[in-house]
Amino acid sequence: LADGWSLMQGATTNGVDGILGECGGSCACATCHVHVDDAWIERVGLPEEGSMESDLIQFAEGTTETSRLACQIPMVPELDGLVLHLPELQH
């Protein structure tokens, strides 16, 4: 993946099943909902309280404490090897 791409862009470009990105990355649909692996959550971080992402996640299926929207996770070298899990259901 190119630095600066979002995880959602990389996933949809490479045909990762379960990450749809129906809104194209504008943080409007939650079809790129992922669970960040516990070992990675400190590096990735949580959505900012009151942000569009945190507001939208509350409507996603199967959220957990480590839920993020892949469109809001920029791919940077520090996240090489990032482990994510997909929810059972995705809109």
Question: What's the chain's length in residues?
Answer: 91
Q: What would the mean pLDDT of 60-89 be, rounded to a whole number? A: 92
40 CB-side CA count, 13 A:
17
Q: What is the mean pLDDT of residues 4-11?
A: 91
> For 65-80, what is the mean pLDDT?
94
Q: What is the CA radius of gyration of the chain?
A: 12
Is the model more confident about 3 or about 83? 83
Q: How does pLDDT run across 20-58, given as a tens digit for each residue?
A: 999 999 999 999 999 999 999 999 999 999 999 999 998
- For residue 41, give the nearest of 21, 63, 65, 25 by alpha carbon: 65
Determine the pLDDT at residue 49: 92
